[in-house]
Structure formats: C-alpha cells, structure tokens
C-alpha cells in the first residue's frame, strides 16, 4: 500500500509550514544568542533572500520530502504507528545522520561548542516535528 497523492500533499504542506516556522525561529535565536561570535567574517554566510530560499528548499527536501516518502515505505513493516513511530524514526535518523557528522566536525575543526549543540538541537526539533506530523497524518 503506497501513500495516496492527497495524503502526500497534506504531509508536504503541513510539514513544510512547520519547517518554515521552526527554521525562522531557529535563525532568529542563532542571531539573538550570538552563536557566530568568534567566527571569522568570511566563514559566516550573510543572510539574504536567495540564501534563505535555498536553505528552505534544502531543509524541505531533507526534513519533509525524503522522510515522507521513506515513511510511506516503512509504515507497513513498523511494529507501531502514529506519533511514537514518527519520534522513533526521527531519533533514528538524527542519531545515525546528524550526530556523527557534527561530532566528527567538532573533532577536526575548532568550532564553538554552543554553536554545535544549538545546531544539533535545531536538527532534532526540525526532524522530530516534521516526522511526528508525517506519522500522525499517515494514520488518519
């Protein structure tokens, strides 16, 4: 059983709306908390309209589109469904995807730990929320 087009559209739209809201909040908090303090100016990308659009497209692809399609395939073999399945999938992807990369990066490049921890937190919030929305909509 595959995901219907209507269900796919609902997951993409609601997941996208959630992602836009959370991304804007996280970007605001990044600036407000001065997490780029101490970074050399050439290393910090200046926020522009094009940069923000590219960020949203990239995050939409990795946090909403791919998880939606993946969840539709794995839904049949998962022993549980709904919000629990969404959080389990998000934690699994987060643990195997983001954590090793960020931790490996922290061992090779001297980046401030508050920035790295906030980056991990923002990935978890974005992925967790999107996966919960997708899983919840999938069982409706």
d(CA 103, CA 31): 22
C-beta atoms surrounding 9 within 10 Å: 11
The rounded distance, in Å, linking the Cα atoms of 36 and 114 is 9
pTM of the predicted structure, to 2 decimals: 0.89
- Mean pLDDT rounded to a whole number for the chain: 90
Which of 48, 56, 1, 5 has its CA nearest to residue 26? 56
pLDDT tens string 76-131: 787 777 899 899 989 999 999 999 999 998 899 888 889 999 999 999 999 999 99
- For the chain, the C-alpha Rg in angstroms (whole number) is 16
Reply yes or no on whether the pLDDT at 43 is more than 80: yes
- What's the rounded Cα separation, in Å, for the pair 98 and 108? 16
């Amino acid at each position: 059983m595959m995901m219907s087009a209507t269900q796919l559209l609902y997951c993409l739209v609601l997941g996208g709306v959630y992602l836009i809201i959370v991304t804007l909040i996280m970007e605001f908090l990044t600036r407000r908390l001065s997490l780029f303090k101490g970074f050399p100016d050439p290393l910090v990308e200046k926020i522009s309209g094009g940069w923000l659009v590219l960020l949203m497209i990239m995050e939409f692809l990795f946090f909403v589109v791919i998880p939606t399609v993946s969840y539709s395939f794995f839904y049949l073999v998962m022993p549980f469904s709904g919000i629990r399945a969404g959080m389990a999938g998000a934690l699994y992807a987060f643990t195997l995807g983001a954590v090793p990369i960020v931790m490996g990066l922290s061992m090779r490049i001297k980046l401030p730990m508050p920035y790295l921890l906030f980056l991990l937190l923002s990935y978890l919030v974005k992925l967790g929320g999107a996966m919960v929305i997708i899983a919840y909509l999938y069982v409706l």
